[in-house]
Amino acid sequence: MRTEGPAATATVSARELRRVYGRGHAARAVLDSVSLAVGPGELVAILGPSGSGKSTLLNLLGGLDRPTAGEVVVNGQSLESLSEAALARFRRTTIGFVFQSFHLIPELSAWENVLLPARLARDRHGGRRRALALVETLGLGAVIGQLPIDLSGGERQRVAIARALVMDPPLVLADEPTGNLDAASGAVVIEVLANAVTAGRAVVLVTHDDRLARTAHRVIALRDGRLE
Amino acid sequence: MSAVVIRALAAIRARPASTLITALGLFLAGAILGSAVTTREALGGGLERAQRAAQTADIVAHFDPVALDTLGPRLDAIANIADWSPRITARPVNIATRRADGPRRTGTAEVNGLLLDQPRGLLIVAGRGLSGREDEVVVERGLFTAWHLRLGQGLRLRGRSGPLFVRIVGVSIEPDVLAFPLASRPRIYLPYETVRNRISTARGRLPVTAVAINVTDRTRLAVTLAQLRAASFGLDRVTIQTRTGIRLAIDQASGLISSVIVAFAIVALVAALVMIAAAAYARVTRDLATIGTLRAIGVSNPVIAASYAIEVAAIAVVAIGAGVVAGSVAVAGQAAVLLESFNELPPPHPLGLGHALVASAAVAAAGMAAGAPALIAARRPVVELLRGAAIVRTGRAGVIGSPLLLGARLALSRPFRLAAAVVSIAGGIAVVLVMASLARTLVATQDNPQSLGVRYSLLVEDSPGALDAVRSTPGVAAAAIRYEALAVNAYDLGQPLRIVAFDAGRSGVFDGRPLLSGRRSLGPGEAEVGEGLASSLGLAEGQMLIAAAEGGGEVRLRIVGVVREPTNDGRVAYADATTLLAAQPGTAAQIAVRPTAGTSPEIVKERLAAQGITAVPTGGLVPSGASFVAAVVALLRAVAAVNGAGSVALTLLALVVLARERSETVAIVRAIGGSRRHVAMLLGGAGLVLMTLALVTAVVAQWLLLDPIIERLLGTYGVLDVSLDGRDLALTAVGAMLAAIASSLAVALRYSRITVRRALHAE
Ligand SMILES: Nc1ncnc2c1ncn2[C@@H]1O[C@H](COP(=O)(O)OP(=O)(O)O)[C@@H](O)[C@H]1O
Ligand SMILES: [Mg+2]
């Protein structure tokens, strides 16, 4: 069921997003009247100084947080109308998330972390096939059996990216994916995300990295919670 | 204030939920301790306090009426007697309340006529003593309470010739007997003249029936007793009680209760401390990076450990303090009821030095339990700390099963953390198991009051050949041949002593009086003797007891232990069959029979009778009567409730702490699309692994550790069977598993409600 208008063709669209943290005196709009639309095969970079609301925006787009006002539509589905349970199911197949601080499960090996979304979606065979391909591309073959704690920062971030892509989601959201990486590791990450875009996925990423911003089709600047 | 304290206080403020959970755990541990200290202090000193306040006499002698003129000179002739006061006793005397004072109550009382207004041994707890007026009466507290009497109220007594009306002026306790209604007849006190003229049937000038005696030199009590026995020549039905003898008899009952309570408090406390240490270990595991950072900037190991110790100790001061008070309050009422029935006094202050000491020790222990893991952790290399390593690989690479198995793996991959959690939860479960056994035993005891404090409750006379048949009778836990003989000691002025003999080393198993000094007798020729016998003969361990058996043979026994013996004035020796039979070959053999826990001796008796074997019940050591046992059971139940509920709550807390630690994993699983069901299964899997291991550990711990410890602590007091019971175990296992599942579900639900973003940043 697709709605008409610009959102009809966009993988993710946001309308008049507002997010207020705190209550009463402490209430502060961290994000205000932000609208954007990203279509398939499009890579959009969000730039802005620290504290400008970039992560907040990404969390709202990915359904990890709910807006105070406004609406997010992903793949034609309004997130607002989904219950927490339905939202979880939706995320499982539709959205891949790469966190700035990796958020790998420390008790599971790299390989198991990559495979976890497929396991939750009961997609064992397809998941395995795609996971193998991703490990190959990301150059993780040598370390795939290790625990996150034994991996370098770059390796952890690549594992996190493989986990985000393993279900082949139409929307990929990445929060400073190269922020903690050296130049060489960063390059691999950029390549993989570029491949995802070529394969028709919508990618929205937050970055300070000029090289990464240059590969974007569009750059959106945030300042004090508003689009510039 | 040093930086260490500042960090500790900041940590308390920064984690309100963790602080609350720690505080709750410590509060429960404090409550368990408080209940133990309160009962211990109440029962431990109750009799002494009452006897001191009442100035209980060293010796009380009862006899059939004798003229004061006859008795006085004989007593005055004994050198060590400091003072004595006679009384006249008449019983049973009918008493009744008057109709004007509400519902009519009637009964029979023991009437005591007092020569002095304020005789020794009697403690006025309300109103005043007798003034000498004929119509005044003092009643014992037990009667006053049971009949809902008031001061100033009238009582009607049946006199020798017609009724007699008296007015209640005072309430008293007399700490040498149990109180009414435990004692079958209440005591009331009237002026001597009133009893002699209007009630007693004794003839002659100034008849007396009892005398309370104080001695000058207590160390020579044994000699005085012997002289007294000699002086009582010609008197009928003489019974002589000493203050120590009274204490022994009453201690036997209250000592049992204190021991049970202390035993359980120790077990529960150890469980609580293990939990605190486990929780601290968990904290430290999560804080490894912080510890590494502190080390990196040059803070020393002990300072880091102290900081964690202070954090918990600061919480403990408040929480344990409040817990000790709450635990005391929870059992104080029941302890007071029991004290009243023993005619004893409660401690002057409900919370005393003992409570303060125990609470301080517990706070210190909690601090150390928290500091130790930090100290151990901080010893690791700084680099390793900064990486926060505590995980091992589990499972075959690449195989992730269902979320349930995944949860199990999550639990197993932190073996040290898991072990700490298993041990702490197992401690709680073990306490619950012990409490369940205790409750079962208590219920059985209530049905069968005689079984409290004795190790065999039936004796089969005159058919030693039936031993095998008795042993194979259903409901018989153990049976052994027992011999009993009377003997006299040449230096002991004729009062016989009793020799009880089992096969070598078995008397401890079947009679097992509390050992006061020395050791159990093990081999032929060795004996344990009652305190009364040891003190009257001036014997100690290592010395020989030489006595002539009734049959004439000489018994030579080497004393290896002195025991607390409530019967026969403590004049009992426990020996082995070989020695006794050598001296007196014809001694009749009996079979002592111990029914299994929960089996009433009556049933066993019937089963034996069906085989043609006649068994007779032996009396219990404690005063028989269901109301006494009910009072004991009520107190033990209050203590068991505090201990059991505390342990259940501690176990649940430990589960919640563990589930909370998984909050980040839960958030990640939800971020990548895991459903609430996935989260619940993940946590449930971890919880089930933990609970299964904890149950196994608890059973093994109880079997190998707790049972023997409790057996040791209580063993001297006879049967209180706390060994594992299949049904208790099954119920506890089901309860524990349900708790594991419920706590997983609760945490899953909680973390599913808040947004993933908040969950990822929580903690
Ligand atoms: N849960 C929260 N509660 C209150 N304020 C928050 C919360 N999360 C973020 N903020 C605030 O919102 C602002 C934007 O944060 P964020 O979106 O993380 O910025 P960035 O652009 O650096 O990613 C910051 O000032 C931050 O302090
Ligand atoms: Mg950010």
Give domain A42-63+83-227's CATH architecture: 3-Layer(aba) Sandwich (3.40)
Both B464 and B510 in one domain: the answer is: yes
Predicted pLDDT of residue B693? 92
How far is C-alpha B615 from the chain's CA centre? 31
Query: Do the domain assignments include residue B397?
Result: no
B325 and B432 fall within a common domain: no
pLDDT 10s digits, B501-557: 887 666 666 776 767 788 888 788 888 988 778 877 777 888 888 888 877 788 888
B532 sits in which H/E element: helix B531-537
Written as six digits, the tokens of A153 are: 């920062």
Residues B566 and B607 in one domain: yes
Q: What does the pLDDT average to over B204-223? A: 81
Q: Evaluate if residue B321 carries a pLDDT over 90.
A: yes
Question: Does the beta-carbon distance from B400 to A108 stay under 8 Å?
Answer: yes
Nearest ligand 1 atom, CA A57: 17
Residue B119, class by beta-carbon neighbours within 10 Å (0-12 exposed, 13-18 middle, 19+ buried)? buried
| Pocket flag, ligand 1, residue A19 (CB < 6 Å) | no
Task: Judge if B613 and B626 occupy the same domain.
Answer: no
Residue A13 has pLDDT above 90, yes or no: yes
The whole-number average pLDDT for the span B134-155 is 89
Evaluate if residue B244 carries a pLDDT over 80: no
What pLDDT does residue B1 have? Answer: 47
Conformational region of residue B481, where left means phi above 0, alpha means psi within -120 to 50, and beta covers everything else: beta
Residue-wise pLDDT for B246-297, tens only, equals 666 666 556 666 666 666 667 666 766 776 677 677 777 777 777 777 777 7
What per-residue confidence (pLDDT) applies to B256? 61
Complex-level ipTM beyond the 0.90 threshold? no
Ligand 2 centroid from CA A10, angstroms: 24
- Whether B172 is in a domain gets the answer yes
Q: Are residues B282 and B133 in the same domain?
A: no
The token pair at B569 is 């004035």
Average pLDDT (A56-60) is: 91
- Ligand number nearest to the C-alpha of B757: 1
| Average pLDDT, integer, range A132-149 | 89
Tell me if A107 and B678 make a contact (CB, 8 A cut-off).
no
- Say if residue B762's pLDDT is above 50: no
pLDDT digits (tens, 9 = 90+) for B53-70: 777 778 888 888 888 888
Mean pLDDT (whole number) for A22-48 = 91
Q: Is residue B225 part of a domain?
A: no
The per-residue pLDDT for B191 is 87
Shortest Cα distance, chain A CAs vs residue B390, angstroms: 9
The ranges assigned to domains in chain A are 42-63+83-227
Asked if pLDDT for residue B630 goes beyond 70, the answer is no
CB A73 within 8 A of CB A65: no
Reply yes or no on whether the pLDDT at B72 is more than 60. yes
The answer to whether the Cβ–Cβ distance between A85 and B403 falls below 8 Å is no
Please check the confidence at residue B139 and state whether its pLDDT lies above 70.
yes
Q: Are residues B556 and B544 in the same domain?
A: yes
CA pair distance B204, B14, nearest whole angstrom: 87
Q: Do A89 and B673 touch (CB under 8 A)?
A: yes
Q: Mark out chain A residues that contact chain B at CB-CB < 8 A.
A: 59, 64-66, 84-85, 88-93, 95, 97, 99, 103-109, 111-112, 115-117, 119-121, 145, 147, 149, 163, 167
Mean pLDDT computed over B419-425 = 80
Burial class from Cβ neighbours inside 10 Å (0-12, 13-18, 19+) for residue B653 reads buried
Residue B219, class by beta-carbon neighbours within 10 Å (0-12 exposed, 13-18 middle, 19+ buried)? exposed
The mean pLDDT value of chain B amounts to 78
Ligand 2 centroid vs B485 CA: distance in angstroms?
A: 92
* B669 has pLDDT over 80: yes
Nearest to B397 among A65, A95, A109 (CB): A109
Q: Residue B713 has what pLDDT?
A: 60
Q: With contact defined as beta carbons under 8 Å apart, do B470 and B591 qualify?
A: yes
Q: What is the domain extent for residue B162?
A: 81-215
Question: Are B351 and B421 within one domain?
Answer: no
> Considering only A101-105, A203-207, A214-218, which range has the smallest mean pLDDT?
A101-105
H-run or E-run covering B109: strand B106-114
- What CA dihedral angle connects B688, B694, B696 and B701, to 10 degrees? -170
Beta strands in B521-671 (DSSP E): 526-530, 544-549, 554-563, 572-576, 589-595, 615-617
Question: What is residue B621's predicted lDDT score, i.e. its pLDDT?
Answer: 43
Last residue of a domain, one of B618, B650, B684: B618
Q: Which ligand is nearest to the CA of A48?
A: 1
- Please count the structural domains in chain B: 4
Same domain? B473 vs B612: yes
Q: Amino acid letter at B635?
A: L
Please determine, for residue B623, whether its predicted confidence score (pLDDT) is greater than 60. Answer: no
Out of B162-166, B281-285, B610-614, pick the least confident: B281-285
Strands (E), chain A: 12-21, 28-38, 43-47, 69-74, 77-78, 95-98, 171-175, 202-206, 218-223, 226-227
**Phi, psi torsion values for B188, nearest 5 degrees:** -130, 155
Residue B674 to residue A120, Cβ atoms within 8 A: yes
For tokens 């959205």, name the residue. Answer: A95
User: For the CA atoms of B546, B548, B553, B555, what is the dihedral angle to 10 degrees?
Assistant: -30
Question: What's the pTM?
Answer: 0.66
Chain position carrying tokens 């620290």: A50
pLDDT over 70 at B467, yes or no = yes
From residue B744, alpha-carbon distances to B401, B747, B762 in Å are 19, 5, 18
Average pLDDT, chain A: 87
Alpha carbon distance B203, A146 (integer Å):
103
Q: Please report residues of B whose CB lies closer than 8 A to that of A88.
A: 670, 673-676
In angstroms, the CA A161 to CA B606 distance is 79
Closest-CA residue of B relative to A163 is B672
Residue nearest to atom 4 of ligand 1 (CA): A21
How many angstroms separate the CA atoms of B302 and B371, rounded?
Answer: 9
3-state secondary structure B178-204: CCCCCCCCCEEEEEHHHHHHHHCCCCC
Q: Is B82 exposed, middle or buried (0-12, 13-18, 19+ CB in 10 A)?
A: exposed
% of chain B exceeding 70 in pLDDT: 79
Q: Does residue B722 sit in the same domain as residue B742? A: yes
CB nearest B752 (choices: A84, A111, A112): A84
Does position B208 have pLDDT exceeding 50, yes or no?
yes
Same domain, B738 and B632: yes
Q: How far apart are the first and last CA of chain A?
A: 33
DSSP A35-92: EEEE-TT-EEEEE--TTSSHHHHHHHHTTSS--SEEEEEETTEEGGGS-HHHHHHHHH
The mean per-residue pLDDT over the stretch B555-579 comes to 83
Model pLDDT, residue A91: 87
With CB atoms and an 8 Å threshold, state whether B400 touches A119. Answer: yes
Residue B88 shares a structural domain with residue B192: yes
Residues of A in contact with B670 (CB under 8 A): 88
- What is the pLDDT at residue A4? 40
Percent of chain B topping pLDDT 90? 5
Structure confidence at residue B372 as a pLDDT band (50, 70, 90): confident
Return the pLDDT at B493.
Answer: 52
Task: Please give the structure tokens belonging to residue B394.
Answer: 């589990």
Is A120–B391 a contact, with Cβ atoms under 8 angstroms apart?
A: no
Same domain membership, residue B657 and residue B604: no
Helix (H, G, I), strand (E, B) or coil at B162: strand
Centroid of chain to Cα B440: 16
Average pLDDT over residues B133-158: 89
Distance of CA B203 to the CA centre of its chain: 48
User: Mean pLDDT over residues B650-661, rounded?
Assistant: 71
Q: In the predicted model, is pLDDT for residue B180 greater than 80? A: no
Nearest chain B Cα distance for residue A172, angstroms: 12
Whole-angstrom Cα distance, residue B441 to residue B436?
Answer: 9
Residue B413 corresponds to which tokens in the numbers above? 């991959």
The per-residue pLDDT for range B696-733, each reduced to its tens digit, is 998 888 888 777 776 666 554 544 555 667 777 888 88
What is the rounded distance in angstroms from the CA atom of residue B649 to the CA atom of residue B723? 23
Residue B608: enclosing H or E segment and its boundaries? helix B601-610
CA A59–ligand 2 middle distance (angstroms): 10
